[in-house]
Amino acid sequence: MDVTTWYLEQTSPGDVRPGRPLPTPAEVVRAERPSPEFSRFLYTAVGGDWQWTMRLPWTWRQWMDWLSRPGVETWVAWSRGTPAGYVELVAQEEGVVEIASFGLLPYAIGQGLGGHLLATGAARAWDLADRWPGRDETRRVWVHTCSLDGPAALANYQARGFRIYDTRLNVPGDEDEGVTPGPWPASGPRD
């Protein structure tokens, strides 16, 4: 199956546009302590229905090494005491910040929380250097999404002020064959 991948960017903090008002209060909080267990939970719970498989084979040490790098941040949306989604930011060279992961747990989809979480994550990408002494001030925030992601993903990025700067069509290889997506073995997309 062909997959289209869109690469989007913001080039100014003024590009960030807020999401719609939330019907249910939610709080977005930074997970300040690296936790491979929690991050793997978020990755599988959010990405299980969208074929996120790249990090599934990672060991605990690989997760810890990834999360412990200066400029890597996980911001979690909490709704009524329950994780609802997350944004993972990764500082790169020369003031570039990537939104490496973003998404909602299935129960939270369609409630307007995605716009709020993404706008908060983008704003935190723009002020990331304030929390990491020695990092360059953010000059650009970028993200990619593809046609395998949630149907509202691309529109949400664009509504939050991200602009497409590249589009690619590719055919995925067999590198993920044998890796089961989802929060636990043998789970797949839920109906």
The model's pLDDT over 126-168, given as tens digits with 9 standing for 90+, comes to 999 999 998 999 999 999 998 888 888 999 999 999 999 999 9
The model's pLDDT over 10-40, given as tens digits with 9 standing for 90+, comes to 999 999 999 888 878 899 999 999 999 999 9
The DSSP letter of residue 177 is: T
CA 153 and chain centroid, separation: 11
Sketch out the chain's domains with CATH numbers.
3-170 (3.40.630.30)
How many other CB atoms are found less than 10 A from the CB of residue 170? Answer: 10
Q: Which pTM was predicted?
A: 0.88
Amino acid letter for position 142: W
The model's pLDDT over 40-64, given as tens digits with 9 standing for 90+, comes to 999 999 988 888 888 988 999 999 9
Determine contact, residues 176/54, Cβ cutoff 8 Å. yes
